[in-house]
Amino acid sequence: MTDEYLETTYRSRIKTCPFCGKPPLIGASGEGWRGLMIHCVTDGCLAPSTSYYDHESALRVWNRRDTE
């Protein structure tokens, strides 16, 4: 899977970073680049990230907010 494919497929479903409010990077991860990694690279941010082979799990974990 390419990062471009992942970006096109998931960008509209991913919330901004819970700490800085900026859009996160989306990329492939894991063996065979089959996983989905979502992480913030904004300078000064706490830089949270999540990475799962199951893409829906990665989306669910990244998008979770304590206030919801």
User: What are the tens digits of pLDDT across the range 2-49?
Assistant: 888 888 889 999 999 988 999 999 999 988 888 999 999 999 898 788
Spatial separation of the C-alpha atoms in residues 33 and 51, rounded to whole Å: 11
Of the candidates 23, 43, 26, the one whose C-alpha atom is nearest the C-alpha of residue 35 is: 26
Residue located via tokens 């409010």:
21
CA 43 to chain centre: 17
How does residue 68 score in pLDDT terms, banded at 50, 70 and 90? low
Torsion angles phi and psi, residue 35, rounded to 5: -80, 170
pTM summary value: 0.81
Average pLDDT, stretch 38-67? 90
pLDDT at site 62: 93
Model pLDDT, residue 48:
84
Q: Are strands 25-29 and 35-39 parallel, antiparallel or unpaired?
A: antiparallel
Domain ranges of the chain: 3-63
